[in-house]
């Protein structure tokens, strides 16, 4: 109930921005790591191209840490982020995985001051085996939080729908559509992740 009320308040209260999920829902085994590359096409709010490189480390069976760095055309010139993921309900045979990630990010802009963001990523995902694709893991997430710039803050939120496709034990592909809930930025992204 409180989560729903908080989400409605955030939805109605301000300026929104896109936040990508990419491979946050994919767990890396404890003391292992993964590297991901996520190209992005911004479809609104001044269309442009961008990309992020993300490194993920497996802390334990239910938690990962991730750092990312990227750049892009248009307003965003440089981005850096850090995230922690917590799987509240693990993805088992008869139940979907439910979790939340917390992320902080800094975005340098061509015009005006940079922007700091603090975002929560509640998500749900369910993996299953596909004869043609291997293991497929679709997800849906509703990232929301706050953006800080020029001594002011605004709320940010989006709806992200995508899937991770595990091609083999070391490589997965991602396709994601991020829909801004207030129309500021909508993006299409994808990419791949190498697991070591």
Beta-carbon contacts of residue 151 (< 8 Å; ≥ 6 apart): none
CATH number at residue 17: 2.40.160
In angstroms, what CA-CA distances link 161 with 2, 12, 75, 105, 154?
A: 23, 21, 24, 21, 23
Amino acid 123: pLDDT: 96
186 half-sphere exposure, CB direction, 13 A CA radius: 8
pTM confidence score: 0.83
Inter-CA distances, 119 with 132, 133, 137, 146, 193, Å: 35, 32, 23, 6, 22
What span, in angstroms and rounded, lies between the C-alpha atoms of 129 and 133?
Answer: 8
Domain count along the chain:
1
Write down the mean pLDDT value for the chain: 84
Question: Rounded to an integer, what distance in angstroms lies between the CA atom of residue 79 and that of residue 55?
Answer: 14
Mean pLDDT to the nearest integer, 150-168 = 91
What is the span of the domain harbouring residue 172?
2-195
Q: Which residue has the tokens 């085996």?
A: 129
pLDDT class of 12 with cuts at 50, 70, 90: very low
pLDDT 10s digits, 99-131: 999 999 998 876 767 889 999 999 999 998 877
């Amino acid at each position: 109930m409180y989560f729903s009320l908080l989400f409605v308040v955030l939805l109605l209260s301000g300026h929104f921005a896109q936040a990508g999920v990419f491979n946050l829902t994919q767990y890396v085994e404890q003391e292992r790591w993964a590297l991901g590359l996520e190209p992005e096409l911004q479809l609104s709010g001044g269309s442009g191209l961008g990309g992020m490189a993300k490194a993920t480390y497996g802390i334990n069976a239910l938690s990962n840490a991730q750092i990312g760095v990227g750049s892009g055309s248009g307003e965003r010139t440089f981005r850096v982020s850090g995230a922690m993921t917590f799987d509240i309900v693990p993805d088992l045979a008869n139940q979907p995985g439910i979790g939340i990630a917390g992320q902080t990010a800094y975005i340098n802009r061509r015009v005006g001051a940079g922007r700091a963001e603090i975002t929560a990523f509640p998500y749900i995902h369910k993996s299953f085996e596909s004869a043609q694709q291997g293991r497929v893991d679709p997800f849906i997430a509703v990232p929301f939080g706050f953006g800080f710039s020029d001594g002011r803050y605004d709320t940010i939120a989006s709806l992200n729908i995508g899937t991770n496709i595990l091609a083999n034990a070391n490589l997965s592909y991602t396709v994601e559509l991020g829909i801004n809930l207030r129309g500021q930025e909508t993006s299409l992204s994808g990419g791949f992740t190498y697991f070591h």
